[in-house]
Amino acid sequence: RELFLVSPYFVPGKKGVELLAGVRERGARVVVITNSLASTDGVPVHSKYQLYRKALIEAGVELYEIKPIAGAQLKRRFREPAGSSIGGLHAKTFTFDRRIGFIGSYNLDPRSSKLNTEMGVLFNCPALARRLPETTERDLSSKAYRVELAGNRLVWVTREGGKQVCYNSEPDAGLMKRIKAQ
């Protein structure tokens, strides 16, 4: 019924998009949380990820990109050391139906699947698996940008100062970072 993914470096590729679209077609909710361009320390990875955003959204995937300050707060929540000054997300976890979960070093990108030696723990513990979506969703509308389609264009929607705000380009990312991501 639900797949909740958190990956700082998310490059699903064509097969990954098809897989997530298939999960949606079966009626399950699919949520993906990753770094925004402003919060990532992996601009080359982000440049590949951005190729798949539109297809994911068209498939019905709920796509969120963490704001820089929120990444630092999530690191504290998961008791991770704050590594970068931009406060990017570093957690790698997913849950199925808030019953089964995974926590590990595996990013959902080609480098992790083909090059790096990654590991993790898959567990069947509803109390723990429920914790990730419940605690994360509580503040998601203000700590992340929800990437949506307005016509044929991507928009980033968030709450700031109690009001909904919509951006027409990647928010909080400087010109040089945007150029590097192209």
Binned at pLDDT 50, 70 and 90, residue 174 comes out as: confident
Structure confidence at residue 37 (pLDDT) = 95
Q: Which SS3 state, helix, strand or coil, does residue 12 take?
A: coil
The pLDDT value recorded for residue 83 is 45
pLDDT band at 71 (very low <50, low <70, confident <90, very high): very low
Task: Quickly list DSSP for 118-177.
Answer: --EEEEE-HHHHHHHHHHHHHTHHHHEEEEEEETTEEEEEEEETTEEEEESS-TT--HHH
Amino acid occupying residue 88: G
Task: Provide the pLDDT confidence category of residue 82 given band limits of 50, 70 and 90.
Answer: very low
% of residues, the chain, pLDDT over 90: 55
Q: How does the average pLDDT of the chain come out, rounded? A: 85
The C-alpha atoms of residue 139 and residue 110 are separated, in whole angstroms, by 30
DSSP 107: -
Q: What pLDDT does 15 receive?
A: 93
Q: Would you state the pLDDT for residue 93?
A: 85
pLDDT value of position 54: 97
pLDDT at position 5: 93
Per-residue pLDDT of 123-143, as tens digits, reads: 999 999 999 899 888 889 889
pTM reported for the whole predicted model = 0.85
User: What does the pLDDT look like over 16-65, one tens digit per residue?
Assistant: 999 999 999 999 999 999 999 999 988 998 999 999 999 999 999 999 99
Asked if 145 and 156 touch (Cβ cutoff 8 Å), the reply is yes
Residue 7 corresponds to which tokens in the numbers above? 């990956």
User: Between 147 and 93, where is the model more confident?
Assistant: 147
- Neighbouring CB atoms inside 10 A of 123's CB total 14
